[in-house]
Amino acid sequence: MSIELLSPAGDMERLRMAVTYGADAVYLAGSDFGMRAFAGNFTPDQLREAVAFCHARGVKVHVTCNTMPRNDEVSRLPAWLELIADAGVDAVIMADLGVFALAGKHAPGLKRHVSTQAGVTNYEVARAWHDLGADRVILARELSLEEVAELRAKTPRELEIEAFVHGAMCVSYSGRCLLSNYMTGRDAQRGACAQPCRYKYALMEEKRPGEYFPVYEENGETFIMNSRDMCMIDHIPELMEAGVDSLKIEGRAKSAYYAAVITSAYRHAVDAAQAGVPLSPVWRDEVEKVSHRHYSTGFWFGQPGQFTEDARYIRDYQVCAVVESCAPDGRAVCSLRNKFRTGDTLELIGPGLEPVSFQVPVMADADGFPLEEPRTPQMKFTLQLPHPAPALSLLRRQVSEP
């Protein structure tokens, strides 16, 4: 069974990483109507560039239009939908029924995908969307594997099923939360969530202002709404058996490094599952080497549970440099991201390459003079790698104990 790997692209750098590291499709937002207001997002010209880059490599582009627009925004939608259709986008992702209808009218060539924000949790609603013209439904993250399999079995086969397999999760049902809007004025349904579910809360009694009483879980933990991240890399064969057509990685607001490493890990997991062979532990380990919260399998196999001890990210690795070009002998021109020096131990990772550790030799600056430590952000320098590596390969180092 063929299955699509769908990766996030918050800006052009992250898009290039996702495509280079193995995505079959990417999803992104333009400058309006997307659910990640603080990702880089794409201007109209950048959107055309992104589509051209992806299509030249056989990768599809899905554009999010999944906010819940207000009256004063609706008049802008037809022009926006016509623009993304003219740019050559493959599909548009929507949660609002009015936007869905407008897309059918103003961008009839685009496939219409129903966002997870619409809360598709059963086969009847999936059928209803299909009857209205939907090409795909993106399932609510609250469904179990058995529910997804039943939904697939009871819906038309031409209706594609997309499901999240990796990334941040929301404490609210399918992301429909008012807490951010209430506390900060930033509307989660308009792409601006401040994630107040990650805050540490205390209880204050009305007649005792200024007295704060801690809110505890059973072992003294206080982060009662802090959701774990989802990680389903160990269960790709089960997802394929359930009939999922597209595996979605969350993370348009996350780094280019995240887009590269997580896409690469799931690329190998999908390829292994399709070949009927076990996933190498090398690629399973990669999902631990990006910034993440404590993992769970989401709702796929039962309740994920909250992580109540703290809301911090686990950040054990740091990108030091990006490979700009590399000669056949492994001599590479790199661009600095974070400081390191001769003698440090780094890992080289790249598209299709297993990570390899090496000790940094003496480098050379742009003029060919010996260089012990590149210091200026984005500066170019030359470094001998342990073997040749394609452009957009990365050098990273461990910054904490495993």
State the pLDDT confidence band at 228, using cuts at 50, 70 and 90.
Answer: confident
Confidence (pLDDT) at 335: 97
354 pLDDT above the threshold of 70: yes
Confidence (pLDDT) at 184: 75
Residue range 3-25, pLDDT digits in tens: 999 999 999 999 999 999 999 99
Confidence (pLDDT) at 206: 80
List beta partners, residue 318: 397
Closest CA to 82 of 67, 95, 63, 54: 63
Confidence (pLDDT) at 301: 94
Confidence (pLDDT) at 94: 95
Mean per-residue pLDDT, 60-67: 93
Confidence (pLDDT) at 211: 81
Rg (C-alpha) for the chain, rounded Å, is 22
Cα 187 versus chain centre, distance = 20
181 pLDDT above the threshold of 90: no
191 pLDDT above the threshold of 80: no
Mean per-residue pLDDT, 267-273: 98
More confident residue, 82 or 309: 82
Closest CA to 153 of 135, 126, 174: 126
Confidence (pLDDT) at 173: 59
Distances (CA, A) of 253 to 11, 117, 193, 258, 352: 9, 17, 12, 10, 24
Confidence (pLDDT) at 40: 61
Mean per-residue pLDDT, 245-272: 96
Residues in CB range of 17: below 8 A, 6 or more apart: 256, 257, 259, 260, 263, 392
Confidence (pLDDT) at 16: 98
Confidence (pLDDT) at 306: 66
Model pTM score: 0.88
Sign of torsion over alpha carbons 228, 231, 234, 240: positive
State the pLDDT confidence band at 308, using cuts at 50, 70 and 90.
Answer: low
State the pLDDT confidence band at 313, using cuts at 50, 70 and 90.
Answer: confident
> Do residues 16 and 27 make contact, with C-beta atoms less than 8 angstroms apart?
no
Q: How far apart are CA 3 and CA 264, in angstroms?
A: 15
Q: Which of these ranges, 41-45, 82-86, 133-137, 211-215, has the smallest mean pLDDT? A: 211-215
Confidence (pLDDT) at 217: 63
Distances (CA, A) of 385 to 120, 239, 296, 336: 48, 38, 36, 15
Residue range 19-51, pLDDT digits in tens: 999 999 999 998 766 555 555 679 999 999 999
Q: Which of these ranges, 5-9, 299-303, 310-314, 323-327, has the smallest mean pLDDT? A: 310-314
Structure tokens at 349: 């990772």
Q: How many CB atoms lie within 10 A of CB 367?
A: 6
189 pLDDT above the threshold of 70: no
400 pLDDT above the threshold of 80: no
Strand 202-203, strand 160-167: pairing: unpaired
Domains and CATH numbers, the chain: 4-172+227-296 (3.20.20.70), 317-398 (2.40.30.10)
Q: Average pLDDT over the chain, rounded to whole?
A: 90
Mean per-residue pLDDT, 103-117: 96
Q: How far apart are CA 80 and CA 31, in angstroms?
A: 10
Mean per-residue pLDDT, 86-105: 96
Q: CA torsion 307→308→309→311, rounded to 10°?
A: 70
- Burial label, 176 (beta-carbon count in 10 A; 0-12, 13-18, 19+): middle
Mean per-residue pLDDT, 76-82: 94
Confidence (pLDDT) at 124: 98
